[in-house]
Each structure stands twice: as structure tokens, then as C-alpha cells.
């Protein structure tokens, strides 16, 4: 039996902040888990450092399921993004270790590949419609089979999902930036540019759009109906999902497929959405929804109801998360798509990856474990740099969902 001898929390900011858990066993094997929670990084770091690391030392590294149950049920206080991200980091690191010990990639531990690679979608965006169309062309030239399209809403500088400079990083300021939001302006604008994308580039690729929790169910139904002829792959996060039953209303209004889940942290957040088939894609992430062990349960439940997967893969999830997601993606029968925002070259100075992008898909490497290494010497060159996500305000000054 190999026991855990060390668990180290590594905080680094190569281009943006990442929290990583590195577990070492008595056999000298190491594994990495992503513990990054954008804008609340130190809460998870403390949860790990102060409350979980003391529990890990001396424990059997082979018993992944038991560890998950021990940390989840043992805390008494269940669920929540901080707890579930911390548990995820331990879980992902233990899968990495198990793969290395077995000499197998994690996808083989999970039953082997059901497909060669995981189709990904890239983020095309623009400060104007013309810029967006150029960006869509760029993604098509690079072989993307699926593209998410976002343009800045006129009169709403700093609109979500739009790149300013080389990279889209929503948590960009040392205190939350306040951004203006007008639902009316957005609803008047978005269907027009999505139509232009189809008119210019046709239908031989998948088109996606993120609503970022901005609409009421009534507004979302109206938007979905207007997008029906565009044969969208999905309309993402049309409304906040705390009220799962509200998706029934969107469903009844439109046949545009619905995706939701990047803020979910447990199967309970999507139980009704899945079992009543109120969504088409569940987008929970491996690092925020309890790791491979728990996300696999969500995906397996979804399979029973013909709900497909669409894992969150923004750049605020580290390359460790992305690799873990791709290993899981290639094994599940109900895989849909994987988000791929591409980490910056700076991030790759710290995280060395082995997954590969070609023909619009990410392919996990056959290296044992997850195939990601963290350069600790490089990591110290990038100290933590506190950043917040923006806050949205309506034109009357009241706070809106960002
Ligand atoms: C997405 C997202 C992200 C989030 C970000 C918050 O679809 O990828 O909406 O860009 O805003 O992950 O931290
Ligand atoms: Mg999103």
C-alpha cells in the first residue's frame, strides 16, 4: 500500500492565478490536481492547506472512492464551490497517481477510449461584428469544427466573452470592475450577428453562443425561438440555474438546445434538469464539481436521459483540469463537446502538457496518468496576483447577474 507522504498547495500566476495540489506517495509517485476557483483562489488554498492536508498524510493513496466519501461526508458541511473544488483537487491528483502507478493513461483506467479525441469549441469574439466575423474565419482556418460567437453589445463596453487584446480573461482587475448591462440592447443585437455568421460561413460547422446567465426564462425562450433557423449547437446558460424548474418554460418555448452547468458543483445542482430532460448538455467541470469521481457520476446520470456532456474549459481552469476533462470526455458514451480556450504561452511555462489539438479535437496523450507536469521553479517566478471577476449593473444602477 502506498500512503500519502506530502500534499503541497502551489499558488502561481503565470498570466492568471492557479491553485494546484501536488500529492506525493511513499513510493515517490506524484500527482496533480487543479484547485482554482476564479476570484476566490485563497479560500480553496486555505481549505486544502488548513483542513484537508492534515487528513491526507498517511492515508492510502489507492482508495480514490473512499477518499472522496471521507472528505465529502466527513466534513458534515456538504457541497459548495470551495469544498467541492478542494475535494476535486485531491481526487484528480489521486487519479493521476493511479495512472502513473499502473503505467496507464487515466482514460484507460476509466474503461478505455470510446472515441479518438474530444471535439472542442473555440471562442471567436469581437468588439464589433466585423471583428467577430474575422475571428470566426480564423478559427475555421485552424480546423475548428465548433465555434462559439460573441460580439460586444453596442453601448456595453467590457461585454462578457469578448477578447480585449490577445487573451480573454474576465478576472482582470484588482477590484471588481463594474460593467453596464442592458437586456434589451443585447436581445436586439445578438440574433443579428449570429445570423450574419451563418450567412457568411454557412452551416458546415457547429455554432454556439453563451448568454452567461443574463436572461429571465421568458426572455430566454424568446431568444431561443429567434435562433431556431440558425441550427445552434447550443444556447449556453440562458438563465441562472438555481431554479431548475424554470428551464421547463424555456423548453416549452423553443427547440434551440440548452447547455448549463459551469457554476454547478454537485449532481444535486442538475438532478432535476437531467431527469426531466430540461437541458441538452451538462457543462459542469472536473475541478468545480468534485473531480473525475463525481463528474463521471453526473455524466453517467445524464446518459440515462440522453443529455450530453459539454465540460466547462475556460482558461481559469488550469491545464491539469483540461487534461482531466479530456481523459474523461473520450471515455463517456454521451460526450457532446469540450470547451477549449487555449492557455497562454506564459501558463505553459509552468504547466507542461501533452494533449494535442488537431482536426478540431483535443487528443489526450497515452502518457501514464494525466500527462501534465508542473515546473515548480517556474511557478515561483509568478507570485499570486489578486484579481476579481466583474460585477454587472443594469442601466438603472441595480446589480444584475454577471
Ligand atoms: C465560459 C465561461 C467563462 C466564465 C469564467 C468565470 O463559458 O467559458 O462563461 O468565461 O465567465 O469561467 O470564471
Ligand atoms: Mg459560459
Considering the domain architecture, whether residues 239 and 344 belong to the same structural domain is answered as yes
Give the residue, by CA position, lying nearest to ligand 1 atom 8: 314
User: How many angstroms does the Cα of residue 312 sit away from the middle of ligand 1?
Assistant: 8
Give the residue, by CA position, lying nearest to ligand 1 atom 4: 314
User: How many angstroms does the Cα of residue 122 sit away from the middle of ligand 2?
Assistant: 12
Considering the domain architecture, whether residues 126 and 14 belong to the same structural domain is answered as no
Considering the domain architecture, whether residues 93 and 60 belong to the same structural domain is answered as yes
Compute the distance between CA of residue 71 and CA of residue 91 in angstroms, rounded to an integer. Answer: 10
Residues with CB under 6 A from ligand 1: 38, 170, 210, 212, 262, 312, 314, 316, 339, 389
Find the domain containing 170 and state its range.
Answer: 109-366
Nearest Cα to Cα of residue 168 among 22, 301, 15? 15
Compute the distance between CA of residue 267 and CA of residue 265 in angstroms, rounded to an integer. Answer: 7
> Does residue 290 sit within a domain?
yes
Active site annotation includes 212? yes
Out of 121, 160, 168, 355, pick the active-site residue.
160
Out of 123, 209, 212, 312, pick the active-site residue.
212
Considering the domain architecture, whether residues 244 and 262 belong to the same structural domain is answered as yes
Among 40, 285, 312, which is best to mutate for testing ligand 1, by the most ligand atoms less than 8 A from CB?
Answer: 312
Phi-psi region of 167 (alpha: psi -120 to 50; beta: other; left: phi over 0): beta
What pLDDT is stored for residue 163 in this prediction? 86
Ligand nearest to the CA of 312: 1
User: How many angstroms does the Cα of residue 259 sit away from the middle of ligand 2?
Assistant: 9
Task: Tell me the pLDDT tens digit for each residue of 96-133.
Answer: 999 999 999 999 999 999 999 999 999 999 999 999 99
Considering the domain architecture, whether residues 34 and 127 belong to the same structural domain is answered as no
Give the residue, by CA position, lying nearest to ligand 1 atom 3: 314
Active site annotation includes 160? yes
Nearest Cα to Cα of residue 5 among 33, 30, 26? 26
Considering the domain architecture, whether residues 160 and 174 belong to the same structural domain is answered as yes
Ligand nearest to the CA of 36: 1
Long-range (24+ apart) CB contacts under 8 A made by 350-354 are 350/12, 350/14, 350/18, 350/374, 350/375, 350/378, 350/379, 350/382, 351/14, 351/18, 351/318, 351/319, 351/320, 351/375, 353/319, 353/322, 353/323, 354/323
> Does residue 397 sit within a domain?
no
User: How many angstroms does the Cα of residue 341 sit away from the middle of ligand 2?
Assistant: 11
What pLDDT is stored for residue 64 in this prediction? 98
Compute the distance between CA of residue 344 and CA of residue 382 in angstroms, rounded to an integer. Answer: 14
- Taking the CB of residue 68, how many other CB atoms lie within 10 A of it? 20
Considering the domain architecture, whether residues 294 and 311 belong to the same structural domain is answered as yes
Question: Phi then psi for 353, rounded to 5 degrees?
Answer: -110, 165
**Helix 81-102 vs helix 64-74: angle between axes, to the nearest 10 degrees?**
170
What pLDDT is stored for residue 166 in this prediction? 73
- pTM over the 0.85 mark: yes
Q: What is the dihedral of CA 223, 149, 116, 352, to 10 degrees?
A: -130
What pLDDT is stored for residue 337 in this prediction? 98
Nearest Cα to Cα of residue 368 among 95, 115, 117? 95
Ranges assigned E (strand) in 212-341: 234-236, 258-260, 281-282, 308-309, 338-339
Tell me if 249 sits within 8 A of 272, measured CB to CB: no
Domain containing residue 82: CATH number:
3.30.390.10
Compute the distance between CA of residue 319 and CA of residue 354 in angstroms, rounded to an integer. Answer: 10
Question: Which parts of the chain register pLDDT below 50?
Answer: none
Amino acid at each position: 500500500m502506498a500512503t500519502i507522504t506530502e500534499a503541497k498547495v502551489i499558488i502561481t500566476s503565470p498570466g492568471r492565478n492557479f491553485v494546484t495540489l501536488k500529492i506525493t506517495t511513499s513510493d515517490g509517485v506524484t500527482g496533480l490536481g487543479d484547485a482554482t476557483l476564479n476570484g476566490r483562489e485563497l479560500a480553496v488554498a486555505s481549505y486544502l492547506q488548513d483542513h484537508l492536508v492534515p487528513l491526507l498524510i498517511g492515508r492510502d493513496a489507492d482508495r480514490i472512492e473512499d477518499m472522496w466519501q471521507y472528505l465529502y461526508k466527513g466534513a458534515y458541511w456538504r457541497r459548495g464551490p470551495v469544498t467541492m473544488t478542494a475535494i476535486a483537487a485531491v481526487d484528480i491528483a489521486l487519479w493521476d497517481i493511479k495512472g502513473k502507478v499502473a503505467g496507464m493513461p487515466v482514460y484507460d483506467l476509466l474503461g478505455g477510449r470510446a472515441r479518438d479525441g474530444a471535439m472542442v469549441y473555440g471562442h471567436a469574439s469581437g468588439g464589433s461584428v466585423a471583428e467577430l466575423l474575422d475571428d470566426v474565419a480564423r478559427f475555421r482556418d485552424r480546423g475548428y469544427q465548433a465555434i462559439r460567437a460573441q460580439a460586444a453589445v453596442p453601448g456595453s463596453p467590457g461585454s462578457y466573452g469578448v477578447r480585449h487584446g490577445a487573451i480573454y480573461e474576465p478576472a482582470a482587475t484588482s477590484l471588481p470592475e463594474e460593467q453596464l448591462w442592458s437586456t434589451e440592447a443585447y436581445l436586439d443585437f445578438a440574433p443579428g450577428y449570429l445570423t450574419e455568421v451563418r450567412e457568411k460561413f454557412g452551416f458546415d460547422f457547429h455554432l454556439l453562443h453563451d448568454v452567461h446567465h443574463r436572461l429571465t426564462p421568458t426572455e430566454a425562450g424568446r431568444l431561443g425561438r429567434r435562433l431556431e433557423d440558425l441550427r445552434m449547437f447550443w444556447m449556453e446558460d440562458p438563465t441562472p440555474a438555481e431554479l431548475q424548474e424554470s428551464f421547463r418554460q424555456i423548453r416549452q418555448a423553443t427547440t434551440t438546445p440548452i447547455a448549463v452547468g459551469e457554476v454547478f458543483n454537485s449532481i444535486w445542482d442538475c438532478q432535476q434538469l437531467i431527469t426531466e430532460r430540461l437541458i441538452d448538455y451538462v457543462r459542469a467541470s472536473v475541478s468545480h464539481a468534485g473531480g473525475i469521481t463525481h463528474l463521471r457520476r453526473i455524466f453517467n446520470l445524464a446518459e440515462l436521459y440522453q443529455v450530453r456532456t459539454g465540460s466547462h474549459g475556460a482558461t481559469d481552469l488550469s491545464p491539469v483540469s483540461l487534461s482531466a476533462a479530456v481523459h474523461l470526455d473520450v471515455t463517456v458514451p454521451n460526450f457532446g463537446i469540450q470547451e477549449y480556450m487555449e492557455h497562454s504561452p506564459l501558463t505553459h511555462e509552468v504547466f507542461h502538457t501533452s494533449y494535442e489539438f488537431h482536426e478540431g479535437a483535443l487528443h489526450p496523450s497515452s502518457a501514464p496518468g494525466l500527462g501534465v507536469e508542473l515546473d515548480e521553479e517556474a511557478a515561483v517566478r509568478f507570485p499570486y496576483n489578486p484579481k476579481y471577476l466583474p460585477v454587472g449593473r443594469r442601466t438603472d444602477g441595480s446589480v444584475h447577474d454577471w
